[in-house]
Amino acid sequence: MSKTMRGLMAGAVALVLSAGSAYAEKIVIGHFGNPTPMQVARAEGLFEKATGWEIEWRKFASGAEIIAAMASGDVKVSELGSSPMTIAMSQGVDIQMFMLAIVIGQAESLIARDGTGIASVADLKGKRVAVPIGSTAHFSLMGALQHEKVPVSEVTIMGMPPDQIAAAWEQGAIDAAFIWEPAQSRIIKTGKRILGADTTASWGFPTFDGWVVDKEFAAKNLKQMAAFAKVADEANAAYLANPAAWTATSPQVLTIAKMTGASPEEIPDSMKGYTFVPLVEQLSDKWLGSAPATLKSTAEFLKSAGRIEKVAESYAPFVNTSIAKAATAK
């Protein structure tokens, strides 16, 4: 083969490769690995098909890690709990919530280890309670202590990620934990549920996981973001159509187990601890319509608890409804 021919072939290959990369933009999307219907869509590559993106799904152990990754520009879209989300917004991180992933119920709960004598929130005085600091579970724990008039100074709050909580539990190093799945299912085998986030929500401390997006990225990628939201919504709809069919041996649950590492036997009950809100309903005043007020009240509580220094005048700029509207348009 002549040098000229080799040069032409090399140039053709380079052109093809460059064209391929232009059509498949690589996007890093963060998630917590929760056992939810979107994991089925992720396994089937539906998000990639709908958006045209090459997606790197990156699992994070805490909201604080996600905030750092989004602030750096590395992650463009992610799941994020309402408490760390509020912290990020209050600190000026340029993100917007565009849909709810889950409304948290008993999927996040305060679990007391057997033999500790803890039967209520009041019994946490003098006890060691583990929780991921800055998380929705931390917000719920602080809310529970305030509601039950238990001084934070009288409880030893130990900050640690979920995996460390499960290990510390087995070693007897902690007395209780406010935590989510799958760690919750591991520790409750030798403990009991004191209360769930559904209870603290009824006390005025609601929590949820939302999908957030970099503001500038959202403005430039409305069509793709709407396609992403539609896939997530359709995944939830498949579950809501017949939750009873999602058993431990069903293909859907086995797929979720493979994607998250959670036990198939525990996933159906775990999913019952979440509320999945259809996207068209999220556009109502009850959800996205009232989100700015919910975020502000969360921020005011976090400030009073010393978690943030200031509260934004308005959280409306941090809520994006155009994506959900585009995704649900007929």
Are both 217 and 99 inside the same structural domain?
Answer: yes
186, 202, 218 - which closes a domain: 202
119 shares its domain with 81: no
Do 84 and 221 sit in the same domain of this protein?
Answer: yes
Asked if the structure places residue 268 within a domain, the reply is no
Domain that holds residue 168: 109-202
What is the pLDDT at residue 204?
87
Q: Which pLDDT does position 305 carry in this prediction?
A: 84
Q: How many CA atoms lie within 13 A of 199 on its CB side?
A: 17
Domain match, 191 and 285 both: no
Edge-to-edge strand list for the sheet holding 109-113: 156-159, 128-131, 176-179, 109-113, 191-196
How far is 326 from 229, CA to CA, in rounded Å?
9
Q: Is residue 96 domain-shared with residue 127, that is, in the same domain?
A: no
Tokens of 240: 């809501």
Q: What is the pLDDT of residue 23?
A: 57
Structure tokens given for 83: 């408490």
Indicate if 54 and 165 belong to the same structural domain.
no
Is 246 within the bounds of a domain?
A: yes
Instruction: Say what the pTM is.
Output: 0.83
110, β-bridge pairs: 178, 195
- Per the domain annotation, does 236 fall within a domain? yes
Q: What is the pLDDT along the chain (330 residues), one digit of tens a residue?
A: 555 444 444 444 444 444 444 457 899 999 999 999 999 999 999 999 999 999 999 999 889 999 999 999 999 999 999 999 999 999 999 999 999 999 999 989 999 999 999 999 999 999 999 999 888 999 999 999 999 999 999 999 999 999 999 999 999 999 999 999 889 989 999 999 999 999 999 998 989 999 999 999 999 999 999 999 999 999 999 999 999 999 999 999 999 999 999 999 999 999 998 999 999 999 999 999 999 999 999 999 999 888 899 999 999 999 999 999 999 997
CA distances from 185 to 155, 215, 262 (A): 24, 36, 9
Instruction: Determine whether 56 is exposed, middle or buried from the number of CB atoms within 10 Å of its CB (0-12, 13-18, 19+).
Output: exposed
pLDDT at 13: 44
Which of 184, 202, 220 is a domain's end point?
202
Q: What is the pLDDT of residue 19?
A: 40
